[in-house]
Structure 1
Amino acid sequence: MAKVVTLAHYYTHPEIQQMADKVGDSLELSLYAKECGADVIVFAGVRFMAETAKILNPGAKVILPDSGSTCSLVTQTDVVALKKWREEHPDYVHVSYINSSAEHKALSDWICTSRNVDDLIASIYAEGKKVIFSPDRNMGAYLNFQYGYDMPLWSAVCEVHDKFNQAALDEAFAAVSTAKYLIAHPESPLPVLQQADYVGSTSGMLNWIKTFDKEPDATIFVATEDGILYNMHQARPDLNIQQAPIYAGCQCNSCPYMKMNTIAAVERAQRGEGGIEIDYLTPELMDAARLPIERMLDFSKRYYQ
């Protein structure tokens, strides 16, 4: 009997997470996909995640529940232009965020996630090498600011995180009389990240919430997709956790692509009756894209385990 494994990202609906064998961020799900030994992987996330699972498990059948589940970082990147941009920087190491297409990954030297990007790029600079970074402009701008790098950056953004802004945060902060904190995902704009008490990956922010031991009446604003707030409230129901506003009065910022993973769509995919199979990647493309992913996974195992 075929082993069917369902993976779900933190940004999916809570009921989808409850249907999954594994819930996590991009790095956790990438590692799990490689090691789970599944015959069929139903990936409740977005297309680049399902492609990554297929690249790491070429013998498995990988199904994305909804074919429309894409990512603005992918749709905003012209791979032909990206190839030309890389060729214009022949002496640079090309580090690409995992939120990218298989074709994009194949043009990369390293893949990173929001959890390991700081350490990975620091290790490359420690070897005396220079880096170009794609596709997330906001993440790259934060790294340049935080560490004094001068990385040339590709210009794409996450349409969800890019909506957070300093003016709305200032107004929200002014309305709170008790202690307040801001934690933010590095896909957010630089002025938001400069204001944050913690900047990190989805799992990093969740762990920050789990270990929060300061003022019990503090208000904690979270600048990322709203799906993770479910996990945060589950972990710490005693805390006042709110999504950061994207403009005055609005605390509602969902990824429309993640939310395409409905119960019905996931159930059909689990039965093999729906969704889109990731069967269009050629062996040559998967081999080229797998190399920088494997480098990242090996780095993460050495660095974090």
Structure 2
Amino acid sequence: MTQAEDRILVQEYLAHAAEPQPLSDEEKAELESRIKAELKARDAVLVAHYYTDPDIQRLAEETGGCVADSLEMARFGNRHPASTVVVAGVRFMGETAKILNPEKRVLMPTLEATCSLDIGCPADEFAAFCDQHPDRTVVVYANTSAAVKARADWVVTSSCAAAIVEHLDARGEKILWAPDQHLGNYIRKTTRADMLMWDGSCIVHEEFKFRGLEDLKALYPDAAVLVHPESPEAVVDLADVVGSTSQLINAVQTMPNERFIVATDNGIFYKMQQLAPGKTLIEAPTAGNGATCRSCAHCPWMAMNGLENLLQVLERGDQEVFIDDALREDALRPLRRMLDFTASMNLKVAGNA
């Protein structure tokens, strides 16, 4: 799939992506009360991604769930005794939760919430690409479908990708990387490994602008610039810290700066402000003549997770994630390989999405 075809397909998905309607404080309070009761009645736990609406993140915390990156969401569901895991995020996150928790029921507020990296890496086209390069070790980012993971040798997150690629490179292995080319280029630059890239990108991170960020740095010279490595190389090069969602949250807490310019989805501000209430957070610029996304600083599919459809899925149970057993086993293998490697190296595996 070419980048132009990828963009057309993403726009088609976005045309049908319905965001929840704004709610009054009274409506929110009533929905939250009913959701809490349903979670308890159905032996369910809510796990939410850092990029979801603050109301969803707060509700997950208040009900004994968690707010985390995609892999930790799945691992939390595995550790928690609840028989049902409700995943507020995008579809590949629900799939990852099911891969690691096959005995549990996995629900999502909507199964229509997807990801441009997932859309832009169709399993059949990716398999054909891999077949053209049988001499390469296939490494895929966690932001992929179960079918793409099943075709991989390794699954990685943004925080452990460099260590794993460096390990493979030291063994003389050449890498086939998918799907995010910006993250892949950052890893290649960091490790100097031989990496062949799939042509994919995140519609949120790709929109951060070098010129606007440079101007913002000049306006706030005391601010530290935090950038997710899914951003374009020119933006990454301006960063004081490049890292995963968890690593950027940690930077806000531990760095001495009072101001931070943040180049990732603005849903992360809820957790940053919660953990570092005295810090000032500034969105990195996305606007300008070159902006093409529907909601540049926030994933439109993450925005599909709302209180109303969260309550509906608990009442109806109709947005359930299913994965064929054989496919699940194939997808679990590269995930386990990553988990075993990071455990042996005492690495954290927090990622982006």
What range is the shorter-chain TM-score in? Answer: over 0.9
| Residue of structure 2 equivalent to 1:129 | 173
CA distance in 2, matches of 1:94, 1:252: 30
Aligned-partner SS, 1:62? strand
| Residue of structure 2 equivalent to 1:138 | 182
| Residue of structure 2 equivalent to 1:297 | 339
- 2:179–2:198 contact (8 Å) kept in structure 1: yes
Aligned-partner SS, 1:111? strand
Q: Does 1:13 align with 2:53?
A: yes
Q: Which amino acid aligns with 2:188?
A: N
Structural RMSD (CA): 1.9
CA distance in 2, matches of 1:248, 1:240: 24
CA distance in 1, matches of 2:45, 2:241: 33
CA distance in 2, matches of 1:35, 1:119: 26
In the alignment, which of 255, 260, 271 is matched to residue 212 of structure 1?
Answer: 255
- The gaps in structure 1 that reach 5 residues or longer are none
Q: Does 1:201 align with 2:244?
A: yes
CA distance in 2, matches of 1:164, 1:301: 34
Q: Which amino acid aligns with 2:262?
A: V
Identical positions, percent: 36
| Residue of structure 1 equivalent to 2:6 | none
| Residue of structure 2 equivalent to 1:73 | 117
Q: Does 1:247 align with 2:291?
A: no
Q: CA deviation at 1:202?
A: 0.2
TM-score by length of 2: 0.80
Deviates more, 1:129-138 or 1:244-253: 244-253
Aligned-partner SS, 1:300? helix
| Residue of structure 1 equivalent to 2:142 | 98
Q: Does 1:157 align with 2:197?
A: no
Q: Which amino acid aligns with 2:235?
A: V
| Residue of structure 2 equivalent to 1:180 | 223
**For the structure 1 residues 29 and 242, does the alpha-carbon distance in structure 2 shift closer, same or farther, using more than 3 Å as the test?**
same
Q: Does 1:116 align with 2:156?
A: no
| Residue of structure 2 equivalent to 1:52 | 96
Q: CA deviation at 1:127?
A: 2.0
CA distance in 1, matches of 2:183, 2:264: 13
Q: Which amino acid aligns with 1:260?
A: M
**For the structure 1 residues 303 and 31, does the alpha-carbon distance in structure 2 shift closer, same or farther, using more than 3 Å as the test?**
farther
**CA distances 1:8-58 after superposition (whole Å, capped 9, x unpaired):** 000011110122101111232232233324311100010000011111111
CA distance in 1, matches of 2:277, 2:58: 18
Map 1:231-270 → 2, pairs under 5 A: 231-248=271-288, 253-270=297-314
- 2:228–2:263 contact (8 Å) kept in structure 1: yes
Q: Which amino acid aligns with 1:192?
A: V
Q: Does 1:286 align with 2:339?
A: no
- The gaps in structure 2 that reach 5 residues or longer are 1-40, 348-353
- 1:96–1:135 contact (8 Å) kept in structure 2: yes
Q: CA deviation at 1:304?
A: 2.8
Q: Which amino acid aligns with 1:10?
A: Y
CA distance in 2, matches of 1:212, 1:296: 29
Q: Which amino acid aligns with 1:3?
A: D
CA distance in 2, matches of 1:303, 1:190: 28
In the alignment, which of 163, 167, 178 is matched to residue 211 of structure 2?
Answer: 167
TM-score by length of 1: 0.92
Aligned-partner SS, 2:248? helix
Aligned-partner SS, 2:345? helix
**CA distances 1:252-301 after superposition (whole Å, capped 9, x unpaired):** 61111111110111222233x2551112x211111111111111122222
Aligned-partner SS, 1:229? helix
Q: CA deviation at 1:240?
A: 1.8
**For the structure 1 residues 285 and 56, does the alpha-carbon distance in structure 2 shift closer, same or farther, using more than 3 Å as the test?**
same
Q: Number of aligned residue pairs: give it.
A: 299
Q: Does 1:36 align with 2:80?
A: yes
Q: Which amino acid aligns with 1:130?
A: K
**CA distances 1:41-90 after superposition (whole Å, capped 9, x unpaired):** 10001000001111111121111111221000011112222111111221
Deviates more, 1:125-134 or 1:10-19: 125-134
- 2:169–2:194 contact (8 Å) kept in structure 1: no
- 2:139–2:177 contact (8 Å) kept in structure 1: yes
